[in-house]
Structure 1
Amino acid sequence: MSFIRTLEGDISPQSLGFTYSHEHIVCRPAFWAERGESDLLLDDPEKSQRDVEDFKACGGSAIVDATAVDYGRDVEAVRRIGQETGIHIVGTAGFNKSFLWDARIKEELKPIIGSYATYAEWIDRASINELTAFVVREVEEGLEGTPFKAGQVKFGTGYNRITPLEEKTLRAVARAHHETKAPVHSHTEVGTMALEQLELLRSEGVDLNFVSLGHMDRNPDPYLHEQIARTGVYLSFDGIGKIKYAPESTRIALILELVRKGYENQILISGDTARKTYYKHYDHGLGLEYIKAKWLPRFVDEANRSGFDGEKLAEKFFVHNPAACFSFKK
């Protein structure tokens, strides 16, 4: 039996609909707050909701909120946005990456995880089994003590390296996956260390067909992408709209190259919209409507010109592939 776990409860994969596979809706990351980086604080739920409403108005159905515990998520606010807009929202258990872990843990979390001062202290002092138990609780009982359960488990690694604490969280997340059957998602910094992550997951006995890797378009290397795709994982191209990293022509070419090689069933698309300046209703950015309303028509046109069925590919990337990727298979 397969199902997808949203903040509102479990649904059938067929009910998910048009999906953004990696976004952030409301979050106040302590690391950035402590440094006065206001752009990285999505701290106004009303403004976030207006962007989610725009996404729904252009045909969107579901959003995977990839905000883990160390990135300052607001579970109640995000769940309320999903409830009021009717958008399915998938929450995330697990961890992000080590440089964020110098931040102080918010007081509300300490009754749940213990009286550690920082995330680094918690992860360093806790055993892998203790970290695994925390992730399992977030999937099976609820995020941060709420009744709203996570629909995927996440870990992350840094730029061109995997620190000992990152490996520790990776192994905890892998073991939580075995216990819960939740799909696994990873943060790759600038698209690096993907193959190394997969080797560690293999060492934990994880079936890589249950794994998605984020930020693949940040490392625009077709050879590397093919090596990754051969393992069976999903590749998330989630930097759509971020021209400062690469033009859209580069992303589309990378995606179509994977399609040419037969990997169209392993591609996910999203925007990783995690700054005020990316949101329309915070600071006049492209907003959550951009991919569906503006990028996708261009992609379909370019795919058609390259001899593919652009509409069929769009259906795969935004409907069929997310429904398969984010399913629990028990």
Structure 2
Amino acid sequence: MSYIRTFFGDIKPEELGFTYSHEHIVCTPSFWQEKGEDDLLLDDKEKSQLDVQDFKNLGGKTIVDATAVDYGRHVSEVAEISKETGVQIVGTAGFNKSFLWTGKMKPELKQLVGNYETYYDWIEAASISELTEFVVREVEEGLEGTSFKAGQVKFGTGYNRITPLEEKTIRAVARAHHETKAPVHSHTEAGTMALEQIEILKEEGVPLEYLSIGHMDRNLDPYYHEQVAKTGAFLSFDGIAKIKYAPESARIAAILNLVQKGYEDQILVSGDTARKTYYKHYDFGPGLEYIKKKWVPRFTHEANQNGFDGESLIQKFFVDNPARCFTFKK
């Protein structure tokens, strides 16, 4: 039996529809709060909802909210947005990268995992089995004690390194995958360490067709992309509209390079819209409408100009590939 787990129940893969594969909707990471980085605090449910509604109005159906426990989730508010807009939300269990863990743990979580001051303290003190149990509970019972269950499990690593505690969370998430069959997502910092992450997952026996690897467009190296694609994992190009990192021409060229090599069934596209200045209704940014409204037509045009079928590729990146990537296979 195959299904995708959303906040309001399990659905058939064909019900997923047009999907953004990596976004953040309402989140206030304590790490950034403590540093006074207001741009990184998506703290207004109503403004976030207006952007989600824009996505819905353009035909969007599902958003994968990649916000892990250490990134300041507001689970109930995101669930309200889902209910009020009709956009399906896939939630995320697991962890992000280690430098975020020095942020103070929110009081509600302390009631679930123990009276630790920071996420780092918790992850350092807990065994792999205890972390695994926490992740499994978020998939099978609900995120942070709510009734809204996670539809994927996540881990992350830092720039050009994997710390011992990050490896610990990778192994915990891998083992949670085995217990739940939930799809696995990884955060890579600036697109680094994907192959090293994969080696640890191989040691844990995780089938790589269950894995999506984030931020591949932060490392626009065609050779590197091909090595990742050869493993069978999905590659997430989730920095669309972030011109400060690379022009859209470079992202599109990297995607088409993978398509040329036969990896079009392993590509996901999204925006990782995690700043007020990226959101339209917070601070006049491109917003959640940008990809559907502007990037999709541009990509389709460029793909067609280069001899590909742009429309069919869009169908794969936003509908068919997410429907396979985010499926639980019991």
C-alpha displacement of 1:201: 0.2
C-alpha displacement of 1:170: 0.2
Secondary structure of the residue that 2:239 maps to in structure 1?
Answer: coil
* Structure 2 counterparts to residues 67-146 of structure 1, below 5 A: 67-146=67-146
Secondary structure of the residue that 1:205 maps to in structure 2?
Answer: coil
Secondary structure of the residue that 1:116 maps to in structure 2?
Answer: coil
Secondary structure of the residue that 1:115 maps to in structure 2?
Answer: coil
| Matched residue, 1:173 | 173
| Matched residue, 2:148 | 148
Superposed CA offset, 1:98-143 (max 9, x none): 0000001011111101001100010000000000000000000000
Query: What's the TM-score once normalised by structure 1's chain length?
Result: 1.00
Q: CA separation in 2, counterparts of 1:8 and 1:39?
A: 30
Q: CA separation in 2, counterparts of 1:193 and 1:95?
A: 16
| Structure 1: runs of 5+ lacking an equivalent | none
Query: What's the TM-score once normalised by structure 2's chain length?
Result: 1.00
Q: CA separation in 2, counterparts of 1:224 and 1:140?
A: 35
Q: CA separation in 2, counterparts of 1:108 and 1:125?
A: 19
* Structure 2 counterparts to residues 54-69 of structure 1, below 5 A: 54-69=54-69
| Matched residue, 2:182 | 182
| Matched residue, 1:237 | 237
Quick one: which amino acid aligns to residue 158 of structure 2?
A: G
Q: CA separation in 2, counterparts of 1:93 and 1:100?
A: 16
Q: Give me the CA root mean square deviation.
A: 0.3
Q: CA separation in 2, counterparts of 1:29 and 1:110?
A: 16
Superposed CA offset, 1:8-44 (max 9, x none): 1100000000000000000000000011100000000
Q: CA separation in 2, counterparts of 1:113 and 1:6?
A: 24
C-alpha displacement of 1:203: 0.3
Q: CA separation in 2, counterparts of 1:324 and 1:83?
A: 24
| Structure 2: runs of 5+ lacking an equivalent | none
C-alpha displacement of 1:306: 0.5
Quick one: which amino acid aligns to residue 225 of structure 1?
A: H
Q: CA separation in 1, counterparts of 2:22 and 2:38?
A: 21
Quick one: which amino acid aligns to residue 235 of structure 1?
A: L
| Matched residue, 2:15 | 15
C-alpha displacement of 1:151: 0.1
| Matched residue, 1:202 | 202
Q: CA separation in 1, counterparts of 2:207 and 2:316?
A: 22
The answer to whether 1:221 aligns with 2:206 is no
Q: CA separation in 1, counterparts of 2:114 and 2:16?
A: 36
Q: CA separation in 2, counterparts of 1:103 and 1:217?
A: 27
Q: CA separation in 1, counterparts of 2:58 and 2:279?
A: 16
| Matched residue, 1:50 | 50
C-alpha displacement of 1:146: 0.2
Q: CA separation in 2, counterparts of 1:96 and 1:73?
A: 12
What is the identity percentage for the equivalent residue pairs of Structure 1 and Structure 2? Answer: 75
Quick one: which amino acid aligns to residue 302 of structure 2?
A: E
Q: CA separation in 2, counterparts of 1:300 and 1:147?
A: 39
Q: CA separation in 2, counterparts of 1:14 and 1:206?
A: 24
| Matched residue, 2:277 | 277
Superposed CA offset, 1:247-292 (max 9, x none): 0000000000000000000000000000000000000000000000
C-alpha displacement of 1:222: 0.2
How many residue pairs match? The answer is 330
Superposed CA offset, 1:228-255 (max 9, x none): 0000000000000000000000000000
| Matched residue, 1:33 | 33
Q: CA separation in 2, counterparts of 1:45 and 1:228?
A: 36
Secondary structure of the residue that 1:173 maps to in structure 2?
Answer: helix
Q: CA separation in 2, counterparts of 1:317 and 1:220?
A: 18
Detail structure 1 runs of 4+ shifted over 6 Å in the superposition.
Answer: none
| Matched residue, 1:291 | 291
Quick one: which amino acid aligns to residue 105 of structure 2?
A: I
Q: CA separation in 2, counterparts of 1:242 and 1:224?
A: 21
Q: CA separation in 1, counterparts of 2:276 and 2:95?
A: 22
C-alpha displacement of 1:205: 0.4
